[in-house]
Amino acid sequence: MMASLDRSPNHLKYVFVNVMKPLRLFRSVICACLLTAANGLFADTVWIDQLNLSTAIQDYGTATSKKSLDGHSLTIAGKTFERGFATHAEGWLAIRLDGKAKSFSAQVGVDDEVKGKPGGTAEFVILGDGDRLWSSGLMRLGDAAKACQVSLAGVKLLELVVNDGGDNHYYDHANWAEAKIESDGPHPFQTFARNKGPAYILTPPAPATPRINGASVFGVRPGSPFLFTVPATGKRPMKFTATGLPKGLELDAQTGRITGRLATAGTYIATLRAENSEGVGEKEFRIVCGDRIALTPPMGWNSWNCFAGEVSADRVKRAAETMVKTGLINHGWTYINVDDFWQHHRDSNDPTLTGKARDEKGNIMPNQRFGDMKALADYIHELGLKAGLYSSPGPWTCGGCAGSYGHERLDAQAYAEWGFDYLKYDWCSYGALTEGMSATDPKVPTVSWGRGTSDVAIAQLPYRLMGEFLRQQPRDIVYSLCQYGMSNVWAWGDSVNGNCWRTTNDIAGSWKSMSTIALAQDQAATWAKPGNWNDPDMLILGVIGWGNPQPTRLTPDEQYLHFSLWCLFSAPLLIGCDMEKLDDFTLGLLTNDEVIAINQDALGHQAKCEDTVGEVRVYSKKLEDGSVAVGFCNFGPKPAKLDYANLARLGLKGSLRIRDLWRQRDIGTVKVGQEPLPLEIPSHGIVLLKFVQMATP
Ligand code: GLA
């Protein structure tokens, strides 16, 4: 869209300059002086709030013109501004100038509307052709607006960036008040969208012959209902059989579902078989009946990154149906997890969320959008999938719905009776139990968010309590701790019966967020093992947006890197997108069985960065069969070309066969220590290889 410019001063300038033309005698002297004056007097102003802001990228909401993000007047430290625009960290707006602008100025700061909320810090940065022209430094809520004025002489591309203040990006409502560009004449400055580059699909189509994918090991407790759908690709109809299944389990030949119960602990080795008109596929499957579950990282979908507070039972059912229809179920995708907002809300005006949170006996009651939770879990199970739910140990979830505080036993019982298989338990208001008490009920704080704690005993308390109650239930419920890595949760999560735990703050839909989270994973890596997984948060692939749906802002290369790293990390893989809007590229990312096999490997090792070459970080993950998966990850802004000569550092030796996992093909061999490995890695991209030892002749 063309900038709507203020025309009148330019018109005057035009007349003024042209009237001078006939005065040839003094032209050289007088015109020079007058032109300079005219430029100063009639300089053109383009307000950023007049431009098309829909190209802006930000982690929350959409950029707003002349209003705060929540629709109020732009206000910084009590001062209101008529003009400007509001964005949110991580924020980015780019404007093409082609060297025609003179200067940019603004007054920046955090909007007062986030008072009382956690976070509210930001850094404002101005980039000219990629160079940092100005930075506000760290700004906090309540800081007076900072004025900036930068010269844009010769600058072709202006970028207005907002970084989070280092705490996380929550409530970083960032205002560029009075933001404007000055130039010498009317120029059609335009914003533009980031060019993500072509979406190229690497995953080859699955063959028509049967292939059994997914985990090769499965944990269950004695007496718990068993459900495992054999994930198999290939032409349908397909007939499933198994040998060596222990007593108590049976396999449905049509659906490939193994159900039943095991009475006694033990390890059972079965051979699964899938047959169709094209051939047969077989796989050894180890069933470990004991006290540990989630022996490979959980794989599934969660409602938060796409629907946030707009989730409903219908949407969840449709996500489950799509998991089957798209064939994702044939690659091992299993859980359908409802996040926040299935409960009643504390103070929403939305009638579908309001109502009594609990009955007289204290039983939790779902909101109107959900109604019958057992029916929902049954529906999901009938599709061969498993169901997950969300709560908080505090009185309120992070979204302000009813949490489990004081009702932990009843809630664990309800989840089991309804038939849920997974619980994400989110700290949220628990930290507020000792702060922000309400005047009317001192036990129940009115806020959804509380502080964290560095006291390990306090951090463990609510998780141990719910962990015990879950364990007492007659079904296996994967227990996912969500407290953002507080008190090194990875070191004690197992001791409170946790199966996975978030290691970091919430992921947002940006490269900055994803890469920052990825780079923070090494600290917890050694704690990962079968039944215990570090969780860097849900995937930001496909159409996401936390209630404001839009395609992921990651470039295709960034998406390959994201998914590959989560596999190398042995992370829970939870799709965060609107399943009904899955495109071929995203499906390609989610259905590469050789890449998924890295994640589901039974050894349960988590890759760490073992080497760094410039901006390339080398992550390696040991696999059960002795081979090693290696991700050469380029975190830098430029493509990397290198001859990698450090394979010995990854514990590799001798002659190795090299397999390109995304393309699913062998690409050659290498002799460690004798020849370097030539690599070309796209910017923000990955080369994901598996090295397999070759027999010595
Ligand atoms: C927290 C969690 C998110 C999500 C929301 C729900 O922010 O970290 O993953 O569950 O709460 O309110």
Q: Are residues 359 and 436 in the same domain?
A: yes
Mind listing the pLDDT tens digit for each residue in 267-276?
A: 999 999 999 9
- Range scoring the smallest mean pLDDT among 15-24, 208-217, 427-436, 527-536: 15-24
Ligand 1 and 90: CB distance under 6 A: no
Distance 608 CA to ligand 1 centre (A): 26
The confidence score (pLDDT) of residue 670 equals 97
Tell me if 1 is assigned to some domain.
no
* Residues listed for the chain: 697
The confidence score (pLDDT) of residue 633 equals 98
Give the ligand 1 atom nearest the CA of 484.
8
pLDDT higher than threshold 80 for residue 17: no
pTM, full prediction: 0.87
The total domain count for the chain is 5
Mind listing the pLDDT tens digit for each residue in 481-521?
A: 999 999 999 999 999 999 999 999 999 998 989 999 999 99
Instruction: Say how far apart CA 578 and CA 512 lie, in whole Å.
Output: 22
pLDDT higher than threshold 80 for residue 157: yes
CATH number at residue 644: 2.60.40.1180
The confidence score (pLDDT) of residue 61 equals 83
Distance 662 CA to ligand 1 centre (A): 31
Residue 480, classed as helix, strand or coil, is: strand
Tell me if 295 is assigned to some domain.
no
The confidence score (pLDDT) of residue 697 equals 58
The confidence score (pLDDT) of residue 195 equals 83
Q: Are residues 184 and 237 in the same domain?
A: no
Tell me if 244 is assigned to some domain.
yes
Active-site residue, selected from the candidate residues 112, 143, 506, 535: 506
The confidence score (pLDDT) of residue 455 equals 84
Instruction: Say how far apart CA 237 and CA 223 lie, in whole Å.
Output: 32
- Range scoring the smallest mean pLDDT among 14-23, 213-222, 381-390, 670-679: 14-23
The residue contributing the CA closest to ligand 1 atom 1 is 398
Sign of the C-alpha dihedral, residues 550, 553, 557, 560?
negative
Q: H or E element: which one contains 133? A: strand 131-140
Domain boundary residue, one of 606, 631, 652:
606
Instruction: Say how far apart CA 297 and CA 531 lie, in whole Å.
Output: 8
The residue contributing the CA closest to ligand 1 atom 4 is 304
CATH number at residue 393: 3.20.20.70
Domain range holding 37? 9-42
Distance 168 CA to ligand 1 centre (A): 13
Mean pLDDT across 211-220 = 98
Mind listing the pLDDT tens digit for each residue in 356-405?
A: 999 999 999 999 999 999 999 999 999 999 999 999 999 999 999 999 99
Q: Are residues 145 and 217 in the same domain?
A: no
Ligand 1 and 231: CB distance under 6 A: no
Q: What is the identity of the amino acid at 391?
A: S
Residue 585, classed as helix, strand or coil, is: helix
The confidence score (pLDDT) of residue 439 equals 52
Per DSSP, 384 falls in state T
Mean pLDDT across 52-70 = 92
Burial-class residue 22 by CB neighbours within 10 Å (0-12, 13-18, 19+).
exposed
Tell me if 153 is assigned to some domain.
yes
Instruction: Say how far apart CA 618 and CA 602 lie, in whole Å.
Output: 22
Q: What is the identity of the amino acid at 630?
A: V
Tell me if 180 is assigned to some domain.
yes
pLDDT band of residue 169 (cuts 50, 70, 90) is confident
Q: Are residues 52 and 38 in the same domain?
A: no
The confidence score (pLDDT) of residue 185 equals 86
Tell me if 2 is assigned to some domain.
no
Active site residue 506: yes
The confidence score (pLDDT) of residue 164 equals 87
Ligand 1 and 256: CB distance under 6 A: no
Mean pLDDT across 544-560 = 93
Ligand 1 and 506: CB distance under 6 A: yes
Distance 521 CA to ligand 1 centre (A): 19
Q: How far apart are the first and last CA of the chain?
A: 67
pLDDT band of residue 555 (cuts 50, 70, 90) is very high
Residue in 108, 100, 73 with CA at minimum distance from that of residue 181: 100
The confidence score (pLDDT) of residue 5 equals 26
Give the ligand 1 atom nearest the CA of 502.
8
Instruction: Give me the helices (H) in 311-362, please.
Output: 313-325
Sign of the C-alpha dihedral, residues 159, 160, 166, 171?
negative
Ligand 1 and 340: CB distance under 6 A: yes
Question: What backbone torsions phi and psi does residue 405 show, to the nearest 5 degrees?
Answer: -50, 125
Tell me if 199 is assigned to some domain.
no
Domain boundary residue, one of 554, 585, 606:
606
Mind listing the pLDDT tens digit for each residue in 424-478?
A: 999 999 988 866 545 566 567 777 877 788 788 889 999 999 999 999 999 999 9
Instruction: Say how far apart CA 10 and CA 28 lie, in whole Å.
Output: 22
Q: Are residues 29 and 136 in the same domain?
A: no
The confidence score (pLDDT) of residue 440 equals 64
Across the chain, mean pLDDT equals: 92
Ligand 1 and 112: CB distance under 6 A: no
Q: Are residues 136 and 222 in the same domain?
A: no
Q: Are residues 597 and 686 in the same domain?
A: no
- Range scoring the smallest mean pLDDT among 193-202, 276-285, 327-336, 489-498: 193-202
CATH number at residue 128: 2.60.120.1060
Q: Are residues 561 and 647 in the same domain?
A: no
Instruction: Give me the helices (H) in 308-394, please.
Output: 313-325, 373-382
Ligand 1 and 339: CB distance under 6 A: yes
Instruction: Say how far apart CA 582 and CA 551 lie, in whole Å.
Output: 10
Rounded alpha-carbon distances, angstroms, from residue 63 to 36, 118, 174: 36, 21, 10
- Range scoring the smallest mean pLDDT among 55-59, 112-116, 341-345: 55-59
The residue contributing the CA closest to ligand 1 atom 9 is 506
Mean pLDDT across 555-564 = 98
pLDDT higher than threshold 80 for residue 43: no
381 within 8 A of 334, measured Cβ to Cβ: no
Sign of the C-alpha dihedral, residues 277, 279, 280, 281?
negative
Which of 182 and 434 is assigned the larger pLDDT? 182
The proportion of the chain whose per-residue pLDDT surpasses 90, expressed as a percent, equals 84
Mind listing the pLDDT tens digit for each residue in 265-307?
A: 999 999 999 999 999 999 999 999 999 999 999 999 999 999 9
Q: Beta 101-110 vs 211-212: how paired, if at all?
A: unpaired
The confidence score (pLDDT) of residue 438 equals 55
Q: Are residues 502 and 577 in the same domain?
A: yes
Question: What backbone torsions phi and psi does residue 160 show, to the nearest 5 degrees?
Answer: -105, 115
Residue in 349, 352, 371, 321 with CA at minimum distance from that of residue 582: 321
Instruction: Say how far apart CA 452 and CA 60 lie, in whole Å.
Output: 23
Distance 425 CA to ligand 1 centre (A): 9
Residue in 481, 478, 484 with CA at minimum distance from that of residue 507: 484
pLDDT higher than threshold 70 for residue 30: no
Distance 506 CA to ligand 1 centre (A): 7
CATH number at residue 223: 2.60.40.10
- Bond prior to 237 in cis (omega within 30° of 0): yes
Q: Are residues 480 and 578 in the same domain?
A: yes
Give the ligand 1 atom nearest the CA of 397.
12
Distance 304 CA to ligand 1 centre (A): 7
Active site residue 426: yes
Ligand 1 and 217: CB distance under 6 A: no
To test the pocket of ligand 1, the residue of 346, 392, 398, 449 to mutate (highest count of ligand atoms within 8 Å of its CB) is: 398
The confidence score (pLDDT) of residue 450 equals 78
Q: Are residues 175 and 256 in the same domain?
A: no
CB contact set of 319 (below 8 Å; sequence gap of 6+): 301, 303, 336, 578, 579, 580
Per DSSP, 29 falls in state I
Mind listing the pLDDT tens digit for each residue in 580-603?
A: 999 999 999 999 999 999 999 999
Mind listing the pLDDT tens digit for each residue in 592-645?
A: 999 999 999 999 999 999 999 999 999 999 999 999 999 999 999 999 999 999
Tell me if 201 is assigned to some domain.
no
Q: Are residues 131 and 165 in the same domain?
A: yes
Active-site residue, selected from the candidate residues 339, 426, 537, 557: 426
The confidence score (pLDDT) of residue 85 equals 98
Ligand 1 and 426: CB distance under 6 A: yes
Q: How many Cα atoms sit within 13 Å of 180 on the Cβ side?
A: 14
Domain boundary residue, one of 191, 226, 248:
191
The residue contributing the CA closest to ligand 1 atom 11 is 398
The proportion of the chain whose per-residue pLDDT surpasses 70, expressed as a percent, equals 92
